[in-house]
Chains A and B, each alone.
Chain A
Amino acid sequence: MSALKIKKGSSSHSAYDLRDPNVQTVERHTLAVIVANEAGVLARVIGLFSGRGYNIESLTVAEVDHEGHRSRITVVTTGTPSVIEQIKAQLGRIVPVHEVHDLTTEGPAVERELALFKVSGKGERRVEALRLADIFRANVVDSTLESFVFEVTGTSEKIDAFADLMRPLGLDEMARTGIAALSRGKSGL
């Protein structure tokens, strides 16, 4: 198609943005941000989100390449397609940011979260908690006669579901790591 026939408002010819900018629906995207592991880099990323009014649903960070001093920040954010594009562009211009990948659009990805649950109770409630934990393939990582600490790994929905089940059974405390995500398949970032 000749470039001149680009329809007004259409972005079908754009090399950089392939979705309709007028769509106002809010999407949830998981971004993998590879950064130089230097002082303040996390503050820069978080400051960008708070300073420009973007949402953070989940954020995890750890060094993944000790020799190259690279950290991987996985951030789950929500916004309209144009806001998501802005977020990626803004992340990309932070000087110590090396790469920004949108795992939601770059093909299928797996997302996992780890959570620890402290559940206390006696008698039937305790047995029920253990039985449910088994169904969820949770590990018992600590126990006393009146409590368990369960470790659950899975999607955020699975962890939410487990928490809902544990609440009436004596859920005392919970800690979640936030989402870690990788693209599926052979090739890496």
Chain B
Amino acid sequence: MSKKQMTGARMVVEALKDQGVEVVFGYPGGAVLPIYDEIFQQNRIRHVLVRHEQGAVHAAEGYARSTGKPGVVLVTSGPGATNAVTGLTDALLDSIPIVVLTGQVPTFMIGTDGFQEADTVGITRPCTKHNWLVKETDRLAPVLHEAFHVAVSGRPGPVLVDIPKDVQFATGTYVSPKDTKTSHYAPRTKGDADMVRALVEAIEGAKRPVFYTGGGVINSGPKASRLLRELVDTTGFPITSTLMGLGAYPASGKGWLGMLGMHGLYEANLAMHDCDLMINVGARFDDRITGRIQDFSPNSVKAHIDIDPSSINKVIHVEMPIIGDVASVLEDVLAVWKERGSRVNGKALKDWWKQIAEWKAIDCLKFRQEGKTIKPQHAVQRLEALTKDHPDRYICTEVGQHQMWAAQYMDFDEPNRWMTSGGLGTMGYGFPASIGVQMAHPDALVINVAGEASWLMNMQEMGTAIQYRLPVKQFILNNERLGMVRQWQELLHGERYSHSWSEALPDFVKLAEAFGAKGIRIDDPADLDEGIREMLAYDGPVIVDCLVEKHENCFPMIPSGKPHNEMILGENADTRNAIKEGGAVLV
């Protein structure tokens, strides 16, 4: 038994070490000074001083998503804690495991409107998976260990531990993780055997099957991706993924249809609409996917593998719910399917793929790069071409059109290499996330594909990138517009562009230089490759200000509330022969 007497502040550092934490993203203040003092006196845990607490949380998210380990944040009471709220909500919606430690006024001052007092557990209760206020130093170590357990178990998510300053100063007993009483929190991971068999039977007979996979595969870990690949490739079924699941199945794989949903590929959405068997693996029927609920894939039998019972039948009713961890369930499915002879309906599948090929022929992502203005799609395509062979590439994004173009035009062959804010759609996520990723992978190529408006929301983190020599590449598609908002105004509000452009943008090259980074401006398609190469060659943080077409729209698009087969295609899609009865409404 390792039971040692120490201060609460020391316990925090001890618990982080015992939990295998390497990096903490944080920002000090009065209510966490004892913990910062302990951090000062040790070398095991690195602390990254961000420039805003929101940045700390997104950095921790980037760290977590790119490693599969929980990200850790340390901030002070009051404003430190409230600044973390957006990041917590982001992590909650995207199921990202992070542990946020906040300082609090001393226990005897709680409730007195003390200096920098906020009801942190009250404020963050709806935006954490769970949170704790620790009022006794003896409770601190067990709560911290439990916090890590809850963050990573079942459906991962953010947790918060609020630690009053007197609890940090007082001495108590530290218990190690293995001496801590086991938690009652143990979500079920093994799928129901009857349901697994039902799914296998459905797989054997399906004529028009499709795998619809999501972030849950990434959450489940590398084994889940491996098993998914095996199942998809051996059945020969087509597969599409949500924004959150990109990379779980390789974009170079033979079953790959591309992303689905509002800005997903035509072939992926029509396969979803017309399928007779939908196998949802770790996705949550988000409204960017389903469109109008009544018309969502009307003729299919649906299976849903999800670790969170509340995801089942929340939005779409399914015939085969399988509550469990993706890796565990897929392992069972593969075992039963093989044992029964690895059968599929080969002939029907052939026809299905023929149909899919016709949809593919529309080439829904086609665009024309002409003239002197860079098309944003072209910029992303060149970025992809010039970086895809990099052995260790990570892509982050901000939120908006550029995010969708990155999802459409960049390919991911491995999980954990794509960091984006999907559920909350938090502008300002990408830059700090890229810092978190680079901290975890110092030698990797980390690129944040950004829009200028989003990027400005957390631009203060340039200071962090410089201070920690993090060579993050900020690739800004600068349309001088809140592009995604402008697109909606164009399509839905009679082109009345109410407050969707910025009139006072900074000179991004000078901005980079002001921080001590490199700035590159690209405004001619002819200079694009050279500019990207220059960015890649520079050993340090770079801001690329890539001036692009201002009024480009992101297509294809399913207008919200419409069914999948009413997709709007871009004007350049090749629609000559392919659209059949019940097909798309074209712009």
Residues of A within 8 A of B (CB): 2-4, 6, 8-11, 13-17, 21-22, 36, 39-40, 43-44, 47, 51, 82, 85-86, 89-90, 92-96, 98
Contacts and interface: CB of A to CB of B under 8 A. Distances in A.
Interface stretch (B196-204, B444-452, B535-543): B196-204
B581 interface: no
User: Which bucket holds chain B's interface residue count?
Assistant: 35 or more
Contact of B198 (A13, A21, A51): A13
Given A4-B202, A9-B317, A16 B197 contact: no
A123 B320 CA distance: 68
Contacts of A39: 133
Closest 10 CB pairs of A and B: A3-B198, A89-B310, A95-B130, A3-B201, A21-B317, A89-B309, A4-B201, A6-B319, A90-B310, A4-B205
Contacts of A11: 317, 319
B312 interface: yes
Contacts, number: 86
Given A6-B301, A6-B319, A82-B313, A95 B185 contact: yes
A16 B312 contact: yes
A43 B198 contact: no
Residues of A contacting B: mostly: loop
Given A51-B126, A86-B310, A89-B309, A16 B201 contact: no
A14 B321 contact: yes
B530 interface: no
A114 B54 CA distance: 49
B161 to A, nearest CB: 13
B121 interface: yes
Contacts of A82: 313, 317
Nearest to A2: B201
A9 B314 CA distance: 15
Contacts of A95: 129-130, 150, 185
B319 A14 contact: yes
B192 A15 contact: yes
B321 A10 contact: no
A146 B195 CA distance: 67
B121 A17 contact: no
B368 interface: no
A14 B202 CA distance: 14
A8 B202 contact: no
B369 interface: no
Interface in B152-211: 154-155, 184-185, 187, 192, 194-195, 197-199, 201-202, 204-205
Nearest to A38: B132
Contact of B321 (A15, A44, A86): A15
Given A6-B319, A8-B299, A47 B125 contact: yes
16 contacts: A3-B201, A4-B198, A4-B201, A6-B320, A9-B319, A16-B309, A16-B323, A17-B312, A17-B313, A22-B317, A51-B126, A85-B313, A89-B310, A92-B309, A93-B154, A95-B185
B317 A86 contact: no
B310 to A, nearest CB: 4
Contact of A40 (B121, B184, B312): B121
Contacts of B321: 14-17
A15 B195 contact: yes
Contacts of A16: 309, 312-313, 321, 323
A16 B314 CA distance: 13
B122 interface: yes
Contact of A92 (B201, B299, B310): B310
Contacts of B126: 47, 51
Contacts of A10: 319
B414 to A, nearest CB: 30
Nearest to A94: B130
Interface string B110-146: 0000000000011001100110010000000000000
Nearest to B154: A93
A98 B201 contact: no
Contacts of B198: 3-4, 6, 13
